[in-house]
Structure formats: structure tokens, C-alpha cells
Copies of this chain bind each other. A is one copy, B any other.
Amino acid sequence: MRDSGYTIQDMAERCGMTAHTLRYYERVGLIQPVSRARNGHRRYSEADEAWLHFLHCMRATNMPIRAMQRYAELRELGDSTSLERRKILEDHRAAIASQIKDLEQAHAMLTHKIANYKKIEQRTRIGGPLAEEAVNCRLATAG
């Protein structure tokens, strides 16, 4: 049974999701009902793939399903919803920027803390005094 298009498994692999997730996304309206082969099996198009990649990318950056549903809904409604859709994207971009900021801070903090651990391990190896508290309790402001 061919009927042109990707099977659900193919698409799952291509998009880094499971077949379960693809059906779920369809169920909750993130993707319009997918076309079917004669035997009733789903057949995904290239356009579906692009859209699913987009969804995957938004999810991977913590956009809530709710927001994605709203976006999908507006998309179905056509051109007149362009402004609202853009706003959703802009909001999410802002959310991403904020996440990046938090992550970068944490990254720097961990780098400090890890350096501290290394120092301590060094000292421990040569039998020096321990200063674990500096690592554990001061959020790595310690030198």
C-alpha cells in the first residue's frame, strides 16, 4: 500500500518524535487531520513535515501546547490572523531570550563551582585542608 507520502513511523523519525506523539498532536488539533492511504493509514506530506518540525522546535524550547494550539488555530483561520500569530511568536522569542539568560548564568555558576571542586580535589590529594563549605554553601561565589 503506497498512496504517496510518509508513514507515521517515517515521519516520527524525521521529526524526532514518536508515532504516539504524532497521533496525539493530531488529536489535540496541533496538526490538521492527516490524509490517508486506502487502508486507512496516515500519509504525511512535505508540508506536514515542515509544520511538525516547527512544532517540535517550539516544544523543544518550552512553548506550552496551549500556545501552539492557539497558533495552529489562527493559522487555519487564514491571513487575517497574521498580527496575532506574530505576537505569539514574539512572545515566545522573548521567553526564549529569558531562558537563555538564566541558563547562561547557571552555566557560569557551575563553571565556578566545578573549578572549585577541582581545587579541593587537588588539595585533598596532597593532604591539604578541606574547604567544602565554600563549594556547597556559597553558590560558587567562592574563589
* Residues of chain A at the chain B interface (Cβ within 8 Å): 47, 50-51, 53-54, 57-58, 60-61, 75, 78-79, 82-83, 85-86, 89-90, 92-93, 96-97, 99-100, 102-107, 109-111, 113-114, 117-118, 120-121, 124, 130, 132, 136-139
| The residue from B82, B97, B114, B136 contacting A90, defined by CB atoms under 8 A apart | B114
| The residue from B61, B117, B124, B132 contacting A102, defined by CB atoms under 8 A apart | B61
| The residue from B79, B120, B121 contacting A124, defined by CB atoms under 8 A apart | B79
29 chain-A/chain-B pairs, Cβ below 8 angstroms: A50-B137, A50-B138, A50-B139, A51-B136, A51-B137, A53-B139, A57-B105, A57-B109, A57-B139, A58-B106, A60-B106, A78-B132, A79-B124, A82-B117, A82-B121, A82-B124, A82-B132, A86-B117, A86-B118, A89-B113, A90-B114, A93-B114, A96-B103, A96-B107, A96-B110, A97-B107, A99-B99, A100-B103, A100-B104
In the assembled complex, the Cα of A82 lies from the Cα of B57 at a distance in Å of 37
Given A79-B124, A120-B82, A139-B54, decide whether A100 and B110 contact each other with a Cβ distance below 8 A: no
Main secondary structure of the interface of A (DSSP, over half): helix
